[in-house]
Amino acid sequence: MFPGNPLSFFKTGPDRPVLEEPTQIRRIYESKRLTIFLSLVFGYSMFYVCRLGFAVAKKPMLDEGILNAKEMGDIGSALFFTYAFGKLVNGFLADRSNIARIVATGLLGSAVIIILFGFTKVYFLFLVLWGINGWFQSMGAAPCGASISQWFSNRERGTRYGIWSTAHSMGEALSFYVTAALIAYFGWRWGLWSVGLFSALIALVMYHTLGDRPQTYGLPPIADYKNDHATDSSEAQTSVGRAQLEVLRNPYVWILGMSSVAMYIGRYGINSWGVLYLQEAKSYTLVTAGTVLTCAKVMETIGALSSGFISDFLFRSRRNVTTLLYGLIQVAGLIILFMASPVRGAGNQPMLLGRYGIWDLIGASCFGFGLGGMLVFIGGLIAIDICSKKASGAAMGVVGMFSYLGASLQEGVSGRLIEAGKMVVNGETVHDFTSAYLFWLGAAVIAVLLSCTLWNVKQKE
């Protein structure tokens, strides 16, 4: 299976002679496009299930005294740090890789790590395992983006990318609801083991349902198949290496990266600490806190779906207006969630539909909806638009590196801010989240401001 260099297993296959029968080409193309796209959407969601299991398990682990908030921040930071550089490397490799093999391997590796995570008790082992998990996680997004570029044309890409981006929120919703329920009823270890075993099964399915480039099946390039060619004739003569170098020289890619740094601080502030925040700052149970954030992820899915459609069909694929709109909604949601105070019911538990408790749902939902659109545009689609399609993986890799450096920074800073706010109330240890939350909110505002500097950026034609 691994002839010569083991890395050759991940290399894209050779081009085959193009099939001559148009009916056969159409049948194979449409069948592969459907199977691959469904696999990209549902398969990539499982990467997030593996990634966020630790976030859901934080309160039980704190209560057992296994880790403190600072240590949890360092462990989360280790994942995002290796993820950031892994995303850059795997983004460049994705343009030359068999997508089925690289993505399935990443999910399988992540599944194994989260199973081992459930057996661990030592801080150092948590740190090392979660750092390794970051590398396996980095084998997902950029290769998926490259696959979308390989199988869908310019006019289709915005809508397809928007639909694929719902995988983020689907995976997060599964984590915040299903994983939370498993941990609540069976304990955090069994919760993580269950997630890992199911993800490993999905990885094996993806190995068979994803695919390599169209040309490796005797199919024409997607631009020829859809008659959707760029007007710049030099694009066809540009090598992959040169196209990737142009990505690094494009100043807009670097601005996107800095905006994504700020966006991911706010995003993973809620993803990584949101369950604990609702439990300690607003006294929600684990399952109820997971339900609130699941609502946010449902709205994030709607935001991602609507953003691609709106930008493609209402604004002729111009991303600037919709980026600003979704960014402002995201910031408003964070403000509402921070300011709202839930009304207490029987047993002193929050009433989600109480006079003020409903605002927690509204704030979380607005945050999720706005984030869904921002992830589509800032997180990858604009980078793909403004760079050569031969270097889509590299473009996503560069932006992704910045994104998860921001997430890594967030974990370390948030962990320390939350630990600094630790106090004992009625004999119970709790944390003041005010400083950490303002850190997340400020970063979200900066992300919107930076995105405005991309107002006149044009698609590469």
Average pLDDT over residues 258-279: 91
| Phi (first) and psi of residue 2, to 5 degrees | -120, 75
Least confident span in 160-169, 216-225, 362-371, 437-446: 160-169
Q: Which of 87-91, 326-330, 338-342, 429-433 has the highest mean pLDDT?
A: 326-330
| CA angle 136–142–147, rounded 5-degree value | 115
Buried b (16+ CB within 10 A) or exposed e, 406-443: bbbbbbbbbbbbbbebeeeeeeeebbebeebbebbbeb
396 pLDDT band, cuts 50/70/90, is confident
Percentage of the chain modeled with pLDDT above 70: 87
Residue 309 has pLDDT above 50, yes or no: yes
User: Given this model, what pLDDT does residue 194 score?
Assistant: 95
Least confident span in 64-73, 81-90, 149-158, 179-188: 149-158
Residue 288 has pLDDT above 80, yes or no: yes
Average pLDDT over residues 292-310: 85
Angstrom distance (rounded) from CA 133 to CA 49 = 12
- The DSSP output letter for 210 is -
User: Given this model, what pLDDT does residue 457 score?
Assistant: 60
Angstrom distance (rounded) from CA 84 to CA 39 = 24
Residue 102 has pLDDT above 80, yes or no: yes
- Helix, strand, coil shares of the chain, percent, nearest 5, are 80, 5, 20
User: Given this model, what pLDDT does residue 347 score?
Assistant: 45
User: Given this model, what pLDDT does residue 247 score?
Assistant: 75
Residue 422 has pLDDT above 90, yes or no: no
Residue 344 has pLDDT above 50, yes or no: no
Domain ranges of the chain: 22-227+240-452
Average pLDDT over residues 172-197: 91
User: Given this model, what pLDDT does residue 116 score?
Assistant: 95
Assign domain 22-227+240-452 to a CATH class. mainly alpha
1 pLDDT band, cuts 50/70/90, is very low
Q: Cα dihedral angle (40, 45, 48, 53), rounded to 10 degrees?
A: -140
User: Given this model, what pLDDT does residue 230 score?
Assistant: 58
pLDDT digits (tens, 9 = 90+) for 240-249: 778 778 777 7
Angstrom distance (rounded) from CA 326 to CA 376 = 10
User: Given this model, what pLDDT does residue 342 score?
Assistant: 56
| Phi (first) and psi of residue 73, to 5 degrees | -65, -40
pLDDT digits (tens, 9 = 90+) for 35-92: 999 999 999 999 999 988 998 899 899 989 899 989 999 999 999 889 888 887 887 7
The whole-angstrom distance between residue 305's C-alpha and the CA centroid of its chain comes to 15
End-to-end Cα, the chain, rounded Å = 40
Percentage of the chain modeled with pLDDT above 90: 36
